[in-house]
Copies of this chain bind each other. A is one copy, B any other.
Amino acid sequence: MEAGGTKMVCAVGSGLNDLEETRFATTSPEQSIREAVSFFISTQQRRGSIRAIGIGTFGPADIDVNSATFGSIKNTPKANWSNTDLATPLRSALGDIPLAFETDVNAAAWGERKWGAARDLDDFVYITVGTGIGGGAVSGGKILHGEGHPEMGHLRVPHDREIDPFDGDCPFHGNCLEGLASGSALQQRWQCDPRELKEDHPGWELEAHYLADALANLTLTLSPGRFILGGGVMEQSHLFHKIRQRLSQRLAGYLSLPELEEFIMPPGLGAQAGVLGALALAQDLISTIPSQP
């Protein structure tokens, strides 16, 4: 299950080529969870028992398996969703089966590693640039958690108001990366749907500028072998070239980077990365349990 701020994606299956999926709008926690449970139960009746659950959720989320509130969304600006426990109602409905719980971007990163553009990579970063911006990292072959989880969307980037007088629209930080470079920021700054901006609109150079600054700092911190950039804004495929060029300029030859076309890539799984990643996480749990005949 991918729990997104605007839509929920639920799927049952064993992989890329065996997947039953449904999508519905995210409403109240009660209704959204009810719809998810109803899909899982009806699919289970046809396909046989679901053996494990994987959830990738919008955050901030309690992904600490040792925490009393593991499996919950924490204090979120999204109305009515603060302190929503996703794990308990799903496990009540589906039986006390293993449950994996991650942020949506961590799950997407994991999906890209299993089936997408990061196969066999132990160190890479997945970033989504959509209405908001989020990022997840795999480091040394494991999802990077730290004490909580990364919040890469809120990275601070240099903001020159002479070039870009837009204040930024992040409710917490104003002009952090998300405040300056998310789909929402583009909409605010240019007062139109960003998809209407032509390829040669200066807004795209500015967008590449901010994203390259964030990628430069992530490179210097995590030393990843690849960046996978997904989300609605990155459907502007001309952005990839602009970001590669600017990142290379920023780092000024200090690090030996992989080929830029290999270093900064689109997702292999597109908009399915999150739900497939949640599936991959559930499968990992099953593989640690003795198999049943």
Interface residues of A (CB under 8 A from B): 60, 123, 137, 139-140, 142, 144-152, 154-159, 172-173, 213, 216-218, 220-225, 250-256, 258
Q: In the complex, A148→B142 CA distance in Å?
A: 16
A223–B145 contact, CB under 8 A?
Answer: yes
Contact A147 B217, CB 8 Å, known A139-B139, A156-B250, A253-B172: no
B144 engages A142 (CB within 8 Å):
no
Cβ–Cβ contact A224 & B156, under 8 A: no
Q: Which of B137, B156, B213 is A216 in contact with, Cβ under 8 Å?
A: B156
Tell me, in angstroms, the Cα distance from A141 to B253 when the chains sit together. 31
User: Known contacts A172-B253, A253-B172, A255-B151; is A222 also within 8 Å of B158 by CB?
Assistant: no
Q: State the oligomeric state as a number of copies.
A: 2
A interface: dominant SS: loop
Chain B residue with the shortest CB-CB distance to A151 = B220
Q: A146-B123, A252-B172 are in contact. Are A158 and B157 (CB under 8 A)?
A: yes
CB distance from A188 to the nearest CB of B (A): 19
Structural contact, B218 and A221, CB atoms closer than 8 A? yes
A146–B253 touching, CB < 8 Å: no
Q: Does B155 contact A158, Cβ atoms closer than 8 Å?
A: no
